[in-house]
Amino acid sequence: MYSVEDFIAMNRFGLGANAKDLAAIKGAPKAWLRQHITNYTPLPDTLRNLPDSQSILKGLYETRRIDDRDMRKEAQKKIRNNFGKAVTARTKNFIQTPHPFAERLVIFWSNHFTVSRDRSIIGPAIPAYENEAIRPHIFGNFTDMLITTTQHPCMLVYLDNISSIGPNSKQGSRRDKDINENLAREVLELHTMGAKGGYTQADVTNFAKILTGWTINRGAGKDRKSSAKPGEFDYNAAAHEPGTHVVLGKSYKPKRERQGLEALKDISRHPSTAQHIATKLVRHFINDNPPKDAVAKIAKVFQQSRGDLAKVSAALIDLDAAWVPDLAKVKTPHDLMISVFRAGEAAPKMNRRNRNLFHPALKTMGQDVFYAPSPAGWPDEASHWIAPEALMHRIEWIRSVVTHLKLAADPLTLFNTTIAPVASQEVKMMVKGAPSREDAMALIFASTAFQRR
């Protein structure tokens, strides 16, 4: 039997226990996790050669200008097919990756900086957003990630900044337009300082003024020239609210795009940002009710390193609270799906026969891919995932998986390489005495020891 610490490394920090990860750990779980920080490849082979967001958004905006309705729908369908291919590649990467701690952080930060398919124009580009704005920065600097996500076309569309125009700008005075505060508010409330971080409504309004003019080139404008390609971030000076604006007590003078960049840099290094990010990380990795001392340690590393996420991630590994074997966290439906396939040592083909076991199943279980219910992302507390109906859907999905897919491991081996260190003797006896291989595997996957991390 392997150790509880190995179990925690693979489940709490990783994407679920399996024989390959167990062999790689070699009895040194913390050292194994630290290797994920030093050996990280931002774009794994599985995700290479996928279209970028610029080409996808350019294509989608061009299809909107096709007059023939049938031709427009067909053109849009071809572009939207890219989404399914990209999500399939993403899922295969999670199942196969030898660096699950890094990939868990991709999932965490992608959810932290959520963009959702409820804005249909950006839906096909969201996997590219994750590859471009999240993956390169998970062990880099938080400021860089904040700037990249805030300027990304998907975020600018999702939070309505492309329609935010300064009332005293050239365009605003001519078209009777006004600012939209969505992006400014969510950057402060969700992405950096937190709802109780100490900013005021005036800070939100002034920050929104600073962000006016941050838009994307939609490829249809005839009234101005732009150096940006269609589908890329674009700074439109004619839409920017002129003047000096005060945010969090600091004045930001007119400097075109740099005015916003300087504000984001300062906000990213505010003490409230360190506290908010630390709280979310500790909640995700340790407990729905984050221990205050653990939060304080992570916030201190974040603040002293000026947002160095490699150091922050290493500090998470070193927290004593992270290694308490209390199974405090419940797996989300996505966590469950990935951990089942990793445990079964398989990357099942997503063909017509099996497709409902993958992304459609996540929708049934309440976590449709890239379809978070709000800019706050998917919730991280158990209460959102273990209602009776949700548990029923999980059990039904597990039964379908063990019935229709030939997972590699045999039940007892599966038990020994996944939940053995934390499962009760009763569960082990039930697995041994199960009437069929499928029943035994279903017992393992449905157990509390597997459903939690």
pLDDT tens, 23-80? 999 999 999 999 999 999 999 999 999 999 999 999 988 888 888 888 888 888 888 7
Q: Is 60 exceeded by the pLDDT of residue 223?
A: no
Which pLDDT score is estimated for 356? 78
pLDDT in tens, 269-310: 999 999 999 999 999 999 999 999 999 999 999 999 999 999
pLDDT in tens, 319-373: 999 999 999 999 999 999 999 999 987 656 666 667 778 889 999 999 999 999 9
Which pLDDT score is estimated for 69? 84
Asked if 87 contacts 127 with a C-beta cutoff of 8 angstroms, the reply is yes
Which pLDDT score is estimated for 353? 64
Partners of 235 in beta bridges: 214
What whole-number distance in Å separates Cα of residue 80 and Cα of residue 440?
Answer: 40
Asked if 251 contacts 242 with a C-beta cutoff of 8 angstroms, the reply is no
Partners of 233 in beta bridges: 216
Which pLDDT score is estimated for 67? 83
Torsion angles phi and psi, residue 252, rounded to 5? -115, 115
Averaged pLDDT of the chain: 93
pLDDT in tens, 46-62: 999 999 999 999 998 88
pLDDT classification of 174: cutoffs 50, 70, 90: confident
pLDDT classification of 176: cutoffs 50, 70, 90: confident
Q: Is 70 exceeded by the pLDDT of residue 224?
A: no
pLDDT classification of 221: cutoffs 50, 70, 90: low
311 class by beta-carbon count within 10 Å (0-12 exposed, 13-18 middle, 19+ buried): middle
Collect all residues with Cβ–Cβ distance below 8 Å to 108 and sequence separation of at least 6.
281, 284
User: Percent of the chain scored above 90 by pLDDT?
Assistant: 81
Collect all residues with Cβ–Cβ distance below 8 Å to 59 and sequence separation of at least 6.
75, 79, 231
What whole-number distance in Å separates Cα of residue 322 and Cα of residue 358?
Answer: 30
What whole-number distance in Å separates Cα of residue 343 and Cα of residue 332?
Answer: 16
Q: Is 80 exceeded by the pLDDT of residue 180?
A: yes
Collect all residues with Cβ–Cβ distance below 8 Å to 201 and sequence separation of at least 6.
none
What whole-number distance in Å separates Cα of residue 61 and Cα of residue 59?
Answer: 6
